Amino acid sequence: MSKDLGKILVIDDNEDILLAAKLLLKKHADLVQIEKNPGKIPFLLNNDSYDVILLDMNFTKDTTAGKEGFHWLEQILEIDPHAIVVMITAYGDVETAVKALRAGATDFVLKPWQNEKLIATLRTASRLRSTMNEVKSLKEQQTQLTSEINKQSFAEIIGESHTMQQVFNIINKVAVTDANVLILGENGTGKEVVARAIHNRSLRKDKVFIGVDMGTITESLFESELFGHKKGAFTDAKEDRAGRFEVANDGSLFLDEIGNLSLSLQSKLLTALQKREITRVGSNQVIPIDIRLICATNMPLYEMVEINEFRQDLLYRINTVEIHLPPLRDREGDVPLLVNHFVKEYCKKYRKELKKVTGNTMKKLQKYHWPGNIRELQHALERAIIMSEENTLQPSDFLFLVQKSESNDVDFSEFDLETVEKMMIQKAISKHAGNISKAAKSLGLTRASLYRRLEKHGL
């Protein structure tokens, strides 16, 4: 049988009760500590911690009124405000039970107890203690995380280039205000990372950050997702549900890909932002909202306004301050910083020794145009680290970038002869969809010669 009661402290002036409790509970608890003298409670609690304390309400000085029990309950909670205390007495009644619960007790049982009922009560109390410990741990982690974020200037945004310094400057200025922010940039430039940086530096940093990908929300689910719904509002509404606006109340709401919204949905969003209130689908109750709005898109909103694809009044509402994120091709000097960061991250993730990046490899990565920006660089490095069996990352570990390049011309001057041969063979095989005969012919080799080279290069 699993011992799920943890550590139990039983305090009662009746030795028979103590022995009976220990005999019963030791089968279910990791430890059963019994104590006849309640005066030792401070010593016991200051030197150990217990999941549940089973405390008698009536001791020798006061056998019926329960005053001593309430006194020691107060002492316990003063030492440990989160202590889980179950009161026990032979003279219990509803009034005494209610008084004990109001004084801070978790539960109340009568003696002589029923074994199964006592164990069930203590099991519930023990689970409560476990839950409280988890909540406390999470709060401490959140506090620590917030502290670390505040200590690190812009550790979550990697870059030292002039364009990124301008971005940092805007973030610092706008974050401490409650102004709406619109982040513009190509896919993969880090718009959500910047949104989180703004939140983490804002007056709402201790509140929630809720992100919504507007591009994935269908017309039919828009209001339910953003504003919530009441049970029975539509076929799949099995229960009441809060929308993203309601969940983000007092915190920050990040609406990504806002340029993908249809005009009708833009109108509904604008109404909520103007009134600063929402109404759940199927309800008439108005819910006030207080959020910090951050939006992002890779679409040309100003051009869309000109052709009536995006509401001008909504654009004015969301872009109190704009932040333009540069593409990675315009941040060549930041590529080494990003490369080193992701190499460390993925070597740790996949439990590999830290790999070095050769000079030729870094040059190649800096010259590549990165149409997918930081996200593409991140995926490229993750793939290379997974596939590479060497201690260093070579240019040949990124051949797939050459295949995706906008130009078919590759500057082979940065590679050694072995690497160039391997790259040419891989390109030929890829071009001819794995047909060895055609690949050999295009390379001016016999099939046998190509097979020998494939074996040499481990292809």
Question: Using an 8 Å Cβ cutoff, are 387 and 346 in contact?
Answer: no
Determine the Cα–Cα distance for residues 162 and 267; give it in Å rounded to an integer: 38
pLDDT in tens, 81-139: 889 999 887 765 667 777 878 888 888 888 888 888 899 989 898 888 888 877 765 66
Same domain, 320 and 442: no
- pLDDT in the model for residue 9: 94
Stretch 20-39: mean pLDDT:
90
Q: Distance from CA of residue 443 to its chain's centroid?
A: 51
Assess if residue 148 is contained within a domain: no
Same domain, 220 and 186: yes
Assess if residue 207 is contained within a domain: yes
Reported in sequence order, the residue ranges of 132-231 that DSSP labels E, i.e. its strands, are 181-184, 209-213, 228-229
**CATH code for position 176:** 3.40.50.300
Angle between helices 191-200 and 162-175 (to 10 degrees): 40
Assess if residue 152 is contained within a domain: no
**CATH code for position 16:** 3.40.50.2300
**CATH code for position 363:** 1.10.8.60
Domain boundary among 277, 299, 326: 326
Average pLDDT taken over every residue of the chain: 84
Same domain, 394 and 258: no
Same domain, 169 and 305: yes
Report the SS3 class of residue 421: helix
Integer-rounded Cα Rg, in Å, for the chain is 33
Pick the closest to residue 90 from 69, 113, 62 (CA basis). Answer: 113
Q: How would residue 148 be classed by pLDDT, with cut points 50, 70 and 90?
A: very low
Same domain, 295 and 443: no
Phi and psi (nearest 5°) for 293? -95, 125
| Residue-range definition of the domain harbouring residue 430 | 329-456
CB-neighbour burial class of residue 179 (10 A; exposed 0-12, middle 13-18, buried 19+) = middle
Same domain, 166 and 314: yes
- pLDDT in the model for residue 67: 79
Does a cis peptide bond (omega within 30 degrees of 0) precede residue 42? Answer: no
Same domain, 304 and 344: no
Whether the model clears a pTM of 0.85, i.e. scores above it, the answer is no
Assess if residue 2 is contained within a domain: no
Domain boundary among 95, 119, 134: 134
Same domain, 315 and 333: no
Assess if residue 142 is contained within a domain: no
Same domain, 298 and 419: no
Phi and psi (nearest 5°) for 232? 85, 5
pLDDT at 206 over 60: yes
Q: How many domains does the chain have?
A: 3
Assess if residue 284 is contained within a domain: yes
CB-neighbour burial class of residue 135 (10 A; exposed 0-12, middle 13-18, buried 19+) = exposed
Assess if residue 141 is contained within a domain: no
Give, in degrees to the nearest 5, the angle at Cα 107 between 84 and 134: 35
Residue type for position 96: T
Assess if residue 150 is contained within a domain: no
Same domain, 172 and 294: yes
Same domain, 215 and 336: no
Query: CB atoms < 10 A from the CB of 156, how many?
Result: 13
For residue 149, the surrounding DSSP H or E stretch is helix 115-151
Top pLDDT among 62 and 395 is at: 395
Stretch 361-383: mean pLDDT:
91
Same domain, 174 and 320: yes
